[in-house]
Amino acid sequence: MKGKFFIQTYGCQMNVHDTEYMCAILNKAGYAQAQTLKEADIILLNTCAVRQKAEEKVYSFLGRLKAFKKRHPGLIIGVGGCVAQKEGERILKRIPYIDLVFGTHQFFRVAELIEEVKKNGHRICCIDYTYQLEPPCHVFPLSHKMYGRAYLTIMQGCDNFCSYCIVPYVRGRQISRRSENIINEAKRLLDMGIKEIILLGQNVNSYGQDRLEEISFSELLFKINKLPGLKRLRFITSHPKDISPDVIKAFADLDTLCEHIHLPVQSGSDRILKRMGRKYTRSEYLQKIEALRKACPEISITTDLIVGFPGETKKDFKDTISLLQEVEFDAIFAFRYSDRPPAKAVSFPEKVNEQEKAERLSEVLEIQAPITERKNRVKKGRLLEVLLDSYSKRGQQLCGRTRCNRVVNVEGDESLMGHLVEVIIEEVLPHSLKGKVVKILD
């Protein structure tokens, strides 16, 4: 064993999956995973830069590591992911005890870069865009923290350049994997006993648009749906402009495709949507919501919202409120706008002050809370299919999700992990459900 590594992960499911790959690569290279910071010889951060708060968390954590480095001068500290891609050499200049900075296209090289630091004693910054999306053939990631579920990356990057968004600058331009490789990886996951596959991408339903020879996203869904052993299929995250009629039809036709879609609207105002560069109108978004619910009446729809975008007037904000009330999302993720250089909106005038942003965010959450609670309440007394895949936050119960993506906690022992079970819902909480296992379904 060459040593022990600890990885602290921030951000989206793509970052979580990248960390799974890094763990597999380092294991293959002879390193073991440490359970705590104190026992680690190598500490890596896989970072997120999408929002300012996420980046602040990274620097706060790095500040804590100064004492670790002082006590253990041989400790290697590395920063990877989106903050690394965005800041590059500036991280090495700002924090003298950092040894390695590697970008979003370099995590497959993590073991090689660590060996270079150990051998030469030099600090390294590697943030080149290689556009190598296919994983090394000798490693295969599978999280020990998820039972029965697995992520599968089908594309990376984004070509939309929404005016508030940093993703194209830190993840690069869109690149889709070959469908043949995706299908083969899905088969391998199913052979290992995986029941639910979650397709990942920054704009997953634009899959194939950068490869003229490739199949479309809807065709990919239909192909994966046919694979033996697959019980559930999900995908995240979608852009409303790329939700085609064929993708909507898939919710009606595919038995494995779960009744849930995350469809970020960001604003209910046409004027703000145009300033954001979202390439759809409020009316077009609502038409797609109507089509989804017609194709799949049981579908759960969640969304993202940004309040306080530059130039957002009280009228624009009221348009967002009215959209919330009209659509009645099952859940929302709402955020205050923050400048993310080099995104275009950084230079926009008419910035909304922080107090106004906070008030608008509170109002959005206050309006959504009873909608979510009411939609959860109708589940009480129902029998729902749940895949038990993790432990509750306090570790006292088993946790899983329904097909419509609601979190359910149940009593039970570890032997139920990874199983599809039928649960009767007994209690409704603000953000989850509680129930009792009635029977094992698989």
- Residues 207-247: tens digit of each pLDDT: 999 998 899 999 999 999 999 999 999 999 999 999 999 99
Which secondary-structure segment (H or E) carries 31? strand 31-33
Q: What is the mean pLDDT of the chain?
A: 94
399 is in an annotated binding site: no
| DSSP code per residue over 197-248 | EEEE-TTGGGTTTT-TTSPPHHHHHHHHHTSTT--EEEEE---GGG--HHHH
What amino acid is encoded at 273 in this protein?
A: L
The CA–CA distances, whole Å, from 318 to 85, 278, 283, 323, 407 equal 37, 19, 16, 9, 30
The CATH 2.40.50.140 portion of the chain extends over 383-440
In this predicted structure, what is the pLDDT of residue 346? 97
Q: pLDDT value at position 145? A: 58
Q: How many CB atoms lie within 10 A of CB 403?
A: 22
Whether residue 144 is predicted with pLDDT greater than 60 in this model: the reply is no
Quick check: 322 pLDDT over 90? yes
Q: Does 165 appear as a known binding residue?
A: yes
Residue-wise pLDDT tens digits, 327-362: 999 999 999 999 999 999 999 999 999 999 999 999
Task: Identify the CA nearest to 362 among candidates 354, 349, 270.
Answer: 354
Residue span(s) of the chain under CATH 3.40.50.12160 come to: 3-126
Q: What top-level class would CATH report for the domain 383-440?
A: mainly beta
Residue 422's nearest CA partner among 404, 405, 436 is 436
Q: What is the CATH number of domain 142-258?
A: 3.30.750.210
Q: What is the pLDDT of residue 137?
A: 58
Place of tokens 């130039």: 311
Known binding residue 48? Answer is: yes
Phi, psi angles (nearest 5°) of residue 380: -60, 130
SS3 128: coil
Question: CATH assignment of 262-377, given 3.30.750.200, 3.40.50.720, 3.30.1490.20, 3.40.50.300?
Answer: 3.30.750.200
CA of residue 329 relative to chain centroid, distance: 19
Q: Which of 68, 72, 73 minimizes the C-alpha distance to 45?
A: 68
Is the confidence at residue 303, as pLDDT, over 60? yes
**255-272 tens-digit pLDDT:** 999 999 999 999 999 999
Domain with CATH 3.30.750.210 in the chain: 142-258
pTM above 0.75, yes or no: yes
What phi, psi does 232 have (nearest 5°)? -140, 145
Would you say 23 is a known binding-site residue? no
Class of domain 3-126: alpha beta
264, 257, 202, 408 alpha-carbon torsion, rounded to 10°: 70
Q: Phi-psi category of 131—alpha, beta or left, where left has phi over 0 and alpha has psi -120 to 50? A: left
Q: Where in the chain is the domain with CATH 3.30.750.200?
A: 262-377
The answer to whether 340 touches 51, Cβ cutoff 8 Å, is yes
- Residue 145 phi/psi, 5-degree rounding, is -95, -10
